[in-house]
Amino acid sequence: MNPIEDVVCDAAQVALLRALDGSHMLIAVYDADDRLVFSNSTFNHAFRLDGETRNLTFSDLILHAAIHQCGPRIDRGNALEFIADAQTRRRRQPGQRTFATDLLDGRWFWMTETFFETGWVIVVGSEISELKQNEQALVQARDRAMQEAQTDPLTCLANRRRTLSHLEHAISTSVCSNLPLAVALIDLDRFKSINDCYGHSAGDAVLKDFADASRNVVRRSDLVGRIGGEEFLVVLPGASADDASDVVERLRREVSDRRVRTDAGALVGYSFSAGVCELSAADDSGAALRRADSALYAAKRAGRNCVRVFKRPGALVDNRAGSDGTNARLRRWWPSAWHAVKRLGGRESPMR
């Protein structure tokens, strides 16, 4: 460290700098040529400076720190980029600038650089490590709370609130980008029977197993959410009705091969029915869900364990190979009969 007396003459200033020399503050003074003419012990320790530092410039200091793995944390590890960026901010005009920086040793400092008309610079850094740790803890706690508020605790899928919010956002994006959007409403078949026969723990295991299967099958851009007891909604951005049907059909085949072991050791199989709907530009979330629900009930009426597609008003499509399309023809040619059947079969509990 340079002798303080070589930098200042006034006794009061000497006393002040000596008092600060042993504190938890970084203090450095640069002359008009950007040479380090004074640095206190805390600064020297942070940058691993030993002995004479009179001819060390700011750029030299950063390169020294990069070589010895000390001093400030440098984004992307490029010391030359760091120096070039810092130099664009320093010495613009007399005054002060403040910023937070973290060191490689894990400490955080609130830095104040004071620029004088003479070209000299005084740098003072106050340690804020404890404040930063508290801030990070609060941010992490907030993020956890937000995640928990948006996540179904049993399946770890998106909960109803997050799923419907995501659907609203996907609709807006689809309209702005003129890209297709589809949704699929999925209901596990005879789920109440699983709870009644094997217990609610077995039902919970089935729900978790379905969640695992859906994560493995759907596209990365899709979102699967649990919106009811055994009811799930899949939002498929950029997917047509046929695209969405293919995704859900793959999931249906995957689920049909899976078995869940109960606490008593029994192996339980399960299936689901699904209704798929492609949205039009005029559709809102309510319209989309109503159409998907209509297609879902068609799947239930068809015997469950299948996928139905509602492509447009007036055309419910069976996506299974070999279907005779009876429901679609009935709706097309005898609409009054179709609506009569729909009224008779539209009650929820018998169908699910």
Q: Are 162 and 146 in contact (CB under 8 A)?
A: no
CA 165 to chain centre: 15
113 belongs to the catalytic site? no
Closest CA to 59 of 26, 31, 36: 36
Using DSSP's 3-state secondary structure scheme, residue 328 falls into: helix
Q: Which long-range contacts (CB under 8 A, 24 or more apart) does 37-43 make?
A: 37/2, 37/6, 37/7, 38/1, 38/2, 38/4, 38/7, 39/1, 39/2, 40/1, 41/1, 43/125
Q: What is the largest CA-CA distance in the chain?
A: 104
Instruction: Identify each DSSP E strand in 71-212 by its residue range.
Output: 95-102, 108-115, 121-127, 181-188
Tokens 């007396």 correspond to what residue?
A: 5
89 Cβ contact partners less than 8 Å away, ≥ 6 residues apart: 97
Contact 296, 316 (CB under 8 A): no
Return the SS3 of 196. Answer: helix
Sheet holding 315-318, edge to edge: 223-226, 231-237, 181-188, 272-278, 307-312, 315-318
Identify the active-site residue in 230, 231, 249, 278: 230
Distance CA 169, CA 93 (A): 46
Residues marked as catalytic: 230
